[in-house]
């Protein structure tokens, strides 16, 4: 590989275990029984290791949504027609999607990027970064070329850096793309070796017959292309999506800057699996916002060693579950920064 190979050789700083240990020790001095704030304390420790400080800080959420179409929709694997991708991008550009609502609630910096939606370029506020008109139908051909994968990853990396320059210190990476649960099933199956039957769900509401067909499509595609599990570039090229590749790039950018990523549902976590194979250690910079209803999501996040912050039976995508989880993550950060210690409050500690 040429230029893209430098991304493959890109190495990340290890997590700061010392900062995590200091955060744990400090949490135990706060005016509460040890461990009584449960997962909130785990979030603080994880953020301390990511940011390299005992008391992590989150000031500005960024939401970065990538949109693209998928050739695999020609196989009848979605309940919605392909043009819904374009329609949803327009809705999101107008501020009417769920991710817009939750983004406004969090006062997030929001960026929407067309990386491969069928049709003409959108007008602002959608950024035109179209690499091609959707992917090929990966049941019959590789989804895209090596150059296109590299372009999508690099573009996602650069768009994340733009947000970081605006002061974003926590990132949600979302997506729009009819057919992308099928693509994500193929990507996760390729990387983990898990049988597609355990990963493929009902997506946006397909029938039982379509569900069985979707499993068959993923199995046949993997048998045809034989993607290399340890090579994220190979997996994305053969059975991936343009938005998944861009999402992986954005996640790698965040990890390179020690900025936490809040993962969303199945598509987001599939992109995270690809990012981890491209640059080992990337997953250490990720928190899991919620547990999706998609069956493959649990398999994917268990592969990454993650536990969800929330479980709200969500399955929308766009980054919505991650954006909602940000409120809880903020609560954890405020707790460690604002709570009194036993000593400062003059409160007696536990009886020895």
Distance between start and end Cα atoms, the chain: 63
Q: 75, 109, 175, 318: which one is catalytic?
A: 318
**Integer Cα distance of 194 and 304 in angstroms:** 14
3-state SS of the chain?
Answer: CCCHHHHHCCCCCCCCHHHHHHHHHHHCCECCCCCCCHHHHHHHHHHHHHHCCCCCCCCCEEEEEEEECCHHHHHCCCCCCCHHHHHHHHHHHCCCCHHHHHHHHCCCEEEEEEEECCCCCCCCCCEECCCCCCCCCCCCCCCCCHHHHHHHHHHHHHHHHHHHHCCCCEEEEEEECCCHHHHHHHHHHHHHCCCHHHCCCCCCCCCHHHHHHHHHHHHHHHHHHCCCCCCHHHHHHHHCCHHHHHHHHHHHHHHHCCCCEEECCHHHHHHHHHHHHHCCCHHHHEEEEECCCCHHHHHHHHHHCCCEEECCCCCCCCCHHHHHHHHHHHHHHHHHHHCCEHHHHCCCCCCC
- The verdict on whether 318 is a catalytic residue reads yes
**CA nearest neighbour of 182 among 79, 302, 65:** 79
| Catalytic sites, residue numbers | 318
């Amino acid at each position: 590989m040429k230029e893209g190979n430098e991304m493959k050789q890109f190495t990340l700083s290890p997590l700061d275990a010392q900062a995590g240990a200091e955060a744990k020790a400090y949490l135990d001095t706060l005016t509460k029984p040890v461990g009584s704030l449960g997962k909130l304390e785990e979030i603080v420790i994880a953020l301390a290791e990511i940011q390299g400080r005992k008391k992590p800080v989150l000031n500005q959420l960024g939401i970065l949504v990538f949109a693209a179409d998928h050739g695999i929709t020609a196989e009848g694997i979605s309940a919605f027609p392909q043009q819904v991708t374009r329609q949803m991008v327009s809705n999101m550009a107008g501020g009417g999607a769920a991710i817009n609502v939750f983004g406004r609630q969090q006062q997030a910096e929001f960026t929407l990027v067309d990386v491969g939606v069928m049709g003409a370029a959108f007008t602002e506020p959608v950024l035109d970064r179209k690499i091609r008109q959707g992917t090929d139908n990966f049941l019959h051909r590789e989804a895209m070329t090596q150059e296109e994968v590299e372009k999508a990853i690099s573009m996602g990396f650069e768009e994340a850096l733009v947000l970081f320059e605006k002061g974003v210190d926590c990132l949600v990476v979302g997506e729009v793309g009819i057919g992308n649960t099928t693509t994500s099933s193929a990507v996760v199956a390729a990387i983990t070796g898990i049988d597609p039957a355990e990963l493929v769900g009902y997506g946006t509401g397909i029938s039982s017959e379509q569900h069985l067909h979707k499993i068959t499509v993923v199995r046949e595609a993997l048998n045809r292309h034989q993607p290399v599990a340890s090579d994220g570039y190979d997996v994305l090229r053969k059975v991936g999506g343009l938005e998944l590749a861009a999402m992986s790039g954005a996640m790698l950018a965040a990890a390179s800057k020690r900025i936490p990523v809040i993962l969303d549902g199945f598509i987001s976590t599939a992109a995270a699996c690809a990012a981890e194979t491209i640059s080992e250690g990337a997953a250490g910079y990720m928190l899991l916002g919620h547990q999706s209803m998609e069956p493959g999501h649990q398999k994917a996040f268990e592969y990454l060693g993650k536990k969800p912050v929330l479980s709200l039976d969500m399955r929308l995508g766009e980054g919505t579950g991650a954006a909602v989880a940000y409120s809880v993550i903020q609560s954890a950060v405020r707790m460690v920064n604002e709570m009194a210690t036993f000593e400062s409050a003059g409160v007696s500690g536990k009886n020895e």
